[in-house]
Amino acid sequence: MSDNVICNTLYFLQKCQLLLSQIEGRQEWINEINECQKELEIYKINHPLYEYCLSFITDKIIHPFLQELDIIFNSQDVVRELQKYELNFNYVIKRLSLIREFIPNVVKVPLDDLFCKPQTDEEWIQLNRYIEYVNLDDPLSLSKQFDQFYDYIAMGAAYCTLGSKYQNQLISLIVQNVGGAVMLVKKQTARNIKTKEITNPSLSFVKGLWSIQNNSTFFKNFMKLTNCRVKSHLKIHVPFLFRENQFKYHHDNNNTYVQEKFKGFRMVDDLYNKLQGKELLLKQKQQKIKVRILSANKIVLYKDVDYVQLVQRITELSSEHHQISQINQQQENRNIKIKKVVLHIHGGGWIAMSSFSHQSYTRKWANYLGEDTIVFSIDYRLAPEYRYPYALEDVWQLYLWIINFSQFYLNISIEQIVLAGDSAGGNMALGVCFRAIKYGIRIPDGLLMAYPAVNLDFTKFNPYLLQGLIDQVAPATVLKLALHEYLKDTNAKPNVDPYLSPLIADDSFLLKLPKMTIMCGQLDSLTGDTIKFVNRLRKLEKQFRMLIYNGINHGFLNFEVPIFAVPAIKPLIENSCDLLKQLFNQ
């Protein structure tokens, strides 16, 4: 390792401490910097990722911090100038504490790991033949567009925060809307509020910001007005038909990867009433799966369900002698045109967002794919009220309902089904595939995943994780909170559970995955694990396509909201439509 790298980092940290020691009441900052320095010295070894890590944090965090300290001490009023930077400095100190957490994991990365090898290594040369790096705009223009977008996020953060201290809903709403309007001109104030909130994010803040399109009357109505129109837009409520205790998630290596022949399902009680057509339209106290349906064709919800065929189907599902994949029995007198299905699974860290907040692109998918396609977009249960594996259970149950029962209620005849998920949704799309593989059930025909979370074991370091320290959309502090809320009190083990970390799934499961397309941002902290995932697919000679968009970070499918949009994202959304269509055509 270059001595200059570690010397520079330690020198800058020492200089920061020296400057801060001249300011009263900042001992907590000094202590954290000192602890970070000690941690770096302890793990001072010759390791390629350690050197990269030090260079990154020095260039992106420590050196800018030192420059701002110099500005303060060169000013005439140090105390007053410090107040301007205090929130930024708190965020720097918070990130130094995160750096202390993952430094020990950096040096544990094996030297034969993909990211320890140079780009000239044969493994990278082979892998890069499968990865397309896409430029959406020139870097300067893209940077300006995102700076504007980050200001919109800051305004959203301010909007969510301003009314939170008022218990009276009317007062809270007034303060939010008036304050939000003020933030349009007081951008720095909005930025400060955002910085303060993401330093030590609360669950209510993150849920509020990520679900602002659902929770804010203004934004909700704005979305309704600006979303493109589709011919059919329905909301249904699918009952649970299969006993949940049938789907326990195994953590022991002896059972997780055992593939079984289909043996039938245990169905819920009161099955007949739950299978009546009117059930799909009823919101009831009992738990149901909320689903949004979009299509460029007219979707018909049948009033007269053929219970003879329905009972026959139930018999097949409960039998040891039939495969669940035989699903295309239809009534001959029904003219069925819709034969392609997209099951969309939204992201949001398992704690926020919904099918509604993702309509800015799912409606475009529905229109682009045409009259022979239907899009099911699920609203699964969210943490912390429903932690792992409830969300995955919801998606699994809906998948089973679609491939087995949907044709009895809707004018569809499934020939192909593609799962599409972003972030947490991509994680669960793979989870559904693994569950189908394990139990000998029909596997989806394709996967479209955008910035999927393929590894929830953050003790496994890769250099892309450093992006979370500077990400304006999904910062490391927020991702850490979301993961904590999803897994808390569940005894979940992301280091051994492939339903949490698909990256570690056995080759026998990866071999049976369908063709897939993966879209990622170059500046996304999750992209590194996705690269390792597709490298495993490459070695198994699986069919996949990966696109990495330069200069783009996490969550880009949601960046094309009118007025607040990043202009460069428009061709990316159009690209997603085409990529989804290609999965059906192959």
pLDDT digits (tens, 9 = 90+) for 322-367: 444 444 444 444 568 899 999 999 999 999 999 999 999 999 999 9
Candidate from 78-87, 152-161, 250-259, 458-467 with smallest mean pLDDT: 250-259
Q: What is the CATH number of domain 236-241+265-585?
A: 3.40.50.1820
Q: Cα–Cα distance between 189 and 197 in angstroms, integer?
A: 12
**Higher local confidence (pLDDT), 184 or 135:** 135
Asked whether the beta carbons of 216 and 281 are under 8 A apart, the reply is no
Could you give the CA distance from residue 408 to residue 277 in angstroms, rounded to a whole number? 9
Distant-in-sequence, close-in-space partners of 69: CB < 8 Å, separation ≥ 6 = 16, 19, 20
Does the structure show a pLDDT above 90 at 554?
A: yes
Q: What percent of the chain has pLDDT over 70?
A: 90
How far, in Å, CA of 389 to CA of 382, rounded?
A: 10
Q: What is the pLDDT at residue 272?
A: 74
371 pLDDT above the threshold of 80: yes
Is the separation of the CB atoms in 449 and 422 below 8 Å? yes
Fold of 3-108: 1.20.5
CA-based torsion, 567, 572, 578, 581: positive or negative? negative
Q: Amino acid letter at 16? A: C
Inform me whether the pLDDT recorded for 236 exceeds 60.
Answer: yes
CA-CA-CA-CA torsion sign (218, 219, 221, 225): positive
pLDDT band at 253 (very low <50, low <70, confident <90, very high): low
- Banded pLDDT at 176 (limits 50, 70, 90): low
Rounded distance between C-alpha atoms, residue 359 and residue 357, angstroms:
6
pLDDT band at 282 (very low <50, low <70, confident <90, very high): confident
Is 302 a residue whose pLDDT tops 60?
yes
pLDDT band of residue 179 (cuts 50, 70, 90) is low
**pLDDT of amino acid 331:** 44
pLDDT for the residue numbered 328: 42
| Complete edge-to-edge strand list for the sheet that includes strand 288-295 | 131-134, 544-549, 515-521, 446-450, 412-422, 338-345, 373-379, 288-295, 232-239
What pLDDT shows up at residue 286? 67
A 10 A CB-CB count for 569 gives 25
Q: What is the pTM of this model?
A: 0.94
What local confidence, expressed as pLDDT, does residue 170 receive? 57
pLDDT at 325: 42
- For residue 136, the model assigns a pLDDT of 93
Among the residue ranges 198-202, 419-423, 487-491, the one predicted with the least confidence is 487-491
**In this structure, what are the phi and psi dihedrals at residue 71, rounded to the nearest 5 degrees?**
-60, -45
Q: How far apart are CA 214 and CA 354, in angstroms?
A: 8
Helices (H), ranges, 351-461: 359-369, 390-404, 406-409, 424-438
Residue with tokens 């029904």: 334
State mean pLDDT over 166-179. Answer: 60
CA atoms within 13 A on the CB side of 97: 15
Burial class (CB in 10 A: 0-12, 13-18, 19+), 207: buried
Q: What are phi and psi of 237, to 5 degrees?
A: -130, 100
Per-domain residue ranges for the chain? 3-108, 236-241+265-585
Return d(Cα 462, Cα 106) in angstroms, integer: 8
Q: Region 40-50: what's the mean pLDDT?
A: 87
C-alpha distance across the termini of the chain, in Å: 48
User: To which H or E segment does residue 236 belong?
Assistant: strand 232-239
- The predicted structure's pLDDT at residue 45: 78
CB 419 within 8 A of CB 412: no
Between these two residues, 532 and 223, which has the higher pLDDT value?
532
Give the whole-angstrom CA distance, residue 272 versus residue 249: 28
Secondary structure of 182-209 as H, E, C letters: HHCCCHHHHHHHHHHHHHCCCHHHHHHH
Whole-number pLDDT of residue 29: 96
Query: Is the per-residue pLDDT at 285 higher than 80?
Result: no
- What average pLDDT does the chain have? 89
Kindly state the average pLDDT of the residues 35-45: 88
DSSP per-residue string spanning 336-383: --EEEEEEEE--STTTS--TGGGHHHHHHHHHHH-TTEEEEEEE---T
Residue 279, pLDDT score: 73
> How many residues make up the chain in this entry?
586
Q: The tokens 């849920």 sit on which residue?
A: 207
Q: What is the pLDDT of residues 99-142, one digit of tens each?
A: 999 999 999 999 999 999 999 999 999 999 999 999 999 999 99
